[in-house]
Amino acid sequence: MSTLNVVSLFSLDQKVAVVTGAGSGIGRETALLLASAGAAVVAADLNEEAAQQTVKQIESASGKAIAVKVDIGDESSILAMYETVQAKLGRLDILVNNAGIYPKTQFVETAAEKWDKVLGVNLRGTFLCMREAIKRMRAAKNGGSIINISSVASLQPVIFDNGDYGASKAGVNNLTKVAALEFAADKIRVNAVLPGGVATEGAAASTKVHQASGPITQPGRMPLGRIGVASDIAQAVLFFASPASDYVTGQLLAVDGGFQVS
């Protein structure tokens, strides 16, 4: 029986990882963890100042990172991000599609424009980031790992008045499986992490605005007895990004405290 070195299983030394939405919440925690595993991290966010704060945290722990402003709802902004990655770091090994929006609106009050914006950022933006990453990974012929941050809301209703968000993440799940199949021969693995309820700044702000109109979720459905935290999701991302998951692709991993089985 071979003995595996646990540290090497999760090492990202010499790898370059792009994390979108890295300025706060799950994105920031993921960027910090990937950097601690040895990756050079591209902290990409619409809020460049927040991305710079993430970089400062990484550098203060002797990690390597750069900040890039990106709007994943804008194709030209995505292309510019990848040009910066190539110019400054010279390669791309890992993409974490974390950036997204989740403004809540009652189903019958959802304007077409609002629907289009949510799908445009969460689904179209994820597609564009994946497409450009795959082009570069295939050209380099070094394989790669793409991790999409989806949601348990993609599988079943979790929060009221969240139909457009759930639909966008269901699309992300399908894109994950399609890309996993089509690019397996290129050694590009594509997986998704599906968070349940997670205590982040963005989620708290969205909930505060929305809860005045009535109940927002189904109570008593967390078998492990606590709300998730950003590090719970980041740890799942590290697994998919690392050699520990070399034989895993096309998977949707719910990290939800047991919500799906409750």
Strand order of the β-sheet with 64-69 is 64-69, 40-45, 16-20, 94-97, 144-149, 188-195, 252-255
CB 245 within 8 A of CB 189: yes
Report how far residue 41's alpha carbon sits from residue 190's, in angstroms, rounded to the nearest whole number.
19
Handedness of CA 12, 14, 20, 24 (dihedral sign): positive
Q: Has 165 been annotated as catalytic?
A: yes
Q: Residue 228 belongs to what H/E stretch?
A: none
Name every residue whose Cβ is closer than 8 Å to that of residue 118 and which is 6 or more positions away in sequence.
Answer: 101, 102, 103, 164, 165, 168
- Cβ-in-10-Å burial (0-12, 13-18, 19+) of 82 comes to buried
If one counts every other C-beta atom within 10 angstroms of the C-beta of residue 103, the result is 15
Pick the catalytic residue from 82, 102, 165, 247.
Answer: 165
Tell me the Ramachandran region of residue 9: left when phi exceeds 0, alpha when psi lies from -120 to 50, beta otherwise. Answer: alpha
Report how far residue 154's alpha carbon sits from residue 130's, in angstroms, rounded to the nearest whole number.
19
Catalytic residues: 165
